[in-house]
Each structure stands twice: as structure tokens, then as C-alpha cells.
Amino acid sequence: MYKNIFVTIGLLLLIMTDVAAGASTLCKKSEKVYFSCATNGGKIISLCGEVFSNDKDEFGNPIEMDSPWLQYRFGSPRKIELSYPRQKKDSLKSFKAEIIRAQGGDIRLDSIVFANGGIGYSVEHVVPDTQEVFEGVSVGDPRDFDIKILGKTRKKYPNDRIQCAEPADTRNFFSLVDYIAK
């Protein structure tokens, strides 16, 4: 009888661990996670794609894929509210990178920016001089992110920062920012 209870508890723990591990990203298992975190509002912010292979060149730098792509996703595993761009082909052209180092490196910003529907988005890892890290996405006027407005403009833009509830998965983010900034 105790054996059955321990087996049941063990299975429940495995299921809960698997759900928790997968709940912080909207990337599929076959995709590389470049940035991902859950927000306080229960949503998930993810940058998914295949920009680099798992191999490195002779200098230790990641090797670019033959057909690199990147996609921003926001929502939940059951309902992705925003997926940008829709097509993977040539999707890297839809993104810009911003790197700021100020005051001798005391302020650091690494971000991937894009515009969709006339709104600017910046997926960010920011370390201000207070050392209180901000990870998440800022939303607003595309001009605030140095993005040219093509097509749709608005009279009023949202101005919001959606912060990650826990540290983001950024293990591939900084290589991506460096690559797109080139």
C-alpha cells in the first residue's frame, strides 16, 4: 500500500516538474530559447528561433544556421496572443538590436526591438546603476525604440513595461543581440 502511495506521489512530482519547466517558455522543444520568462500577470514572453547551431567555430563563436529565423511570442501555452513575425523566412530582418553601455559600464541595456501594428516592442535585459535588473518587454511609440514607422501610425501609443516575475532564460540572448547588432 505504501509503495503505491510513493509511486503516485513520485509520478505527480514528475508531472508537476515537467509542467513547471515547460510553463516558462512558448518555444517548442525543437526551437532554441533566446529569451523567455513568465510575468506577474501569468503571461509568458519568449523569443524563439533557430539562429545559431549548437556548434562553435574555431574561436568559440556560435555558427549561424543556413536559414536563420526568430519569432517573438506573448501569451500562454493555451493561447499565444502575439506571434511576430508570422513567417519564419527572412524574419531576422524584422528585428533590430540595441546595446547601450553608459557611465563606464554601470548602466547596461541589451534589447531586441521590433514594430508590429504600429506599436514598438523592446525585449530587454537592463541593469541600471541601481543594479536592480529589469527583464521583460517595453511597449510604446516605435520612435522611442529608434524604429522607423512604416504604414500604420497612431494618435496615442501604449507606454508600458511588462516585467518578468522571475529571472528570464537569457543564456542565448546576449549572443543573439550581438549578432543582430552587427
Q: What pLDDT is stored for residue 23 in this prediction?
A: 52
Higher pLDDT, 169 or 24: 169
| SS (HEC) of 52-67 | EEEEECCCCCEEEEEE
At 168 the three-state DSSP class reads coil
Q: What is the mean pLDDT of residues 128-154?
A: 84
List the grid coordinates of 147: 524604429
List the grid coordinates of 115: 514594430
**Contact present, 4 and 129 (Cβ < 8 Å):** no
Q: What is the mean pLDDT of residues 147-175?
A: 86
Residue in 151, 154, 130 with CA at minimum distance from that of residue 140: 154
Give residue-wise pLDDT tens across range 21-78.
Answer: 445 899 999 999 999 999 999 999 999 999 988 888 888 888 888 899 999 999 999 9
Q: What is the mean pLDDT of residues 133-143?
A: 93
Q: What is the mean pLDDT of residues 169-182?
A: 94
Pairing verdict, β 96-102 and 80-84: unpaired
Rounded to the nearest 5 degrees, what angle is found at the Cα of 177, between the Cα atoms of 167 and 62? 100
List the grid coordinates of 16: 508537476
**Contact present, 112 and 97 (Cβ < 8 Å):** yes
Q: What pLDDT is stored for residue 81 in this prediction?
A: 96
The domains of the chain are located at 25-181
Q: Which amino acid is at 15?
A: I
pTM: 0.81
Give residue-wise pLDDT tens across range 83-136.
Answer: 999 999 999 999 999 998 887 667 899 999 999 988 999 999 999 877 789 999
Q: What pLDDT is stored for residue 18 in this prediction?
A: 34
- The torsion defined by the Cα of 148, 50, 52 and 123, in degrees rounded to 10, comes to 40
